[in-house]
Amino acid sequence: MPISTEDQSRKKLIDNIRAKIFKEYEDIQSSLVDESGLSVTTALDDFDIEKLVLDVLEEAKSPISWRDLKVIFQGIVGEDRLRRILSGLKAKNEIAELTHTRYSLPKYVPQDELNKVKNPVVMRKFEESSEEDTN
């Protein structure tokens, strides 16, 4: 079964985002070398992972599926931790969760999907901050 043009362009977008995020990940990671010459790399803290997730959603400029997020963060963070980070960002109303387990920054939620946001408070806060910016 041939892959559609839309699927090909989505895969290319995911691959580009993954490459960019992996580079950011390597830049954030700190490496220590002890007296014996052994190199030790520190793990990223939750704040760093949150920043990377927000960068991914900004780069995508559209809702992105859980499956795509797993692909992007493969080798950077485990699924359980990624799920916890997404839940935390959702609880802080920084990201919107849509149906079919998709995530987006509030400004990139398509108009026709506003009623599909599972945490509608994020959209109210986004609208309020948008109104304050225009005043």
Q: What is the chain's pLDDT, residue by residue, as a tens digit (135 residues)?
A: 566 777 888 889 899 999 999 899 888 877 666 677 777 777 788 999 999 999 999 999 999 999 999 999 998 999 999 999 999 999 999 999 999 999 999 999 999 999 989 998 998 888 888 777 766
DSSP 36-99: T--EEEPPPPHHHHHHHHHHHHHHH-S-EEHHHHHHHHTTTS-HHHHHHHHHHHHHTTSSEEET
Picking from 66, 51, 75, the residue whose alpha carbon sits closest to that of residue 98 is: 66
What is the rounded CA–CA span in Å between residue 65 and residue 82? 13
Answer for the pair 72, 21: CB distance below 8 angstroms, yes or no.
yes
What pLDDT is stored for residue 98 in this prediction?
95
Helix (H, G, I), strand (E, B) or coil at 72: helix
Residue 27: strand pairing partners:
none
Answer for the pair 22, 76: CB distance below 8 angstroms, yes or no.
yes
